[in-house]
Amino acid sequence: MRDERRGSERKRLLLEAKCASRSGKYEARVDDVSLSGCFVNTAWRVELNEVVSLEVQLPSGEWLPLRGHVASYQPGVGFGVSFTSLSAREAAVLNDVISSTKEKLS
């Protein structure tokens, strides 16, 4: 999801994450976050359109559960997730993080 396919503002952040999919459970880092999706940095292999559950650790330390499907995959690098069914609370929390956090470039 490095190219400009999202219609939502995105911000390059580095957030710890826990992921679960039919491929397994693993820890990763999430970056390039928007209201429509994010990029998950991991060497873990996933399949396109696979459903993924994420728990993302916010700068406050709180864990935010999110759900989506794999929209892109870069072997050995990670995958893009397109969020599905964000609740009003999840969208509000993500919007707050996106608008209030300074970008971290590495």
Distance CA 45, CA 104 (A): 25
Q: Is residue 38 part of a domain?
A: yes
Angle at 20 between CA 85 and CA 44, to 5 degrees: 120
What pLDDT, on a 0 to 100 scale, did the predictor assign at position 47?
A: 92
What pLDDT, on a 0 to 100 scale, did the predictor assign at position 4?
A: 45
Q: Is residue 89 part of a domain?
A: no
What pLDDT, on a 0 to 100 scale, did the predictor assign at position 104?
A: 52
Distance CA 101, CA 83 (A): 20
CATH code: domain of residue 17 = 2.40.10.220
Number of independent structural domains in the chain: 1
Q: Is residue 87 part of a domain?
A: no
Residues above pLDDT 90, as percent of the chain? 62
Q: What is the pLDDT of residues 62-101, one digit of tens each?
A: 999 999 999 999 999 999 999 988 999 999 999 998 888 6
Q: Is residue 101 part of a domain?
A: no
Q: Is residue 106 part of a domain?
A: no
Q: Is residue 3 part of a domain?
A: yes
The tokens describing 93, both together, are 């929390």
Q: What number of H helices and E strands is found in the chain?
A: 1, 8
Q: Is residue 104 part of a domain?
A: no
Residues above pLDDT 70, as percent of the chain? 85
Give the model's confidence band at 49: pLDDT under 50 very low, under 70 low, under 90 confident, else very high.
very high
Q: Domain of 45? A: 1-77
Q: pTM for the whole thing?
A: 0.83
The tokens describing 60, both together, are 């406050």
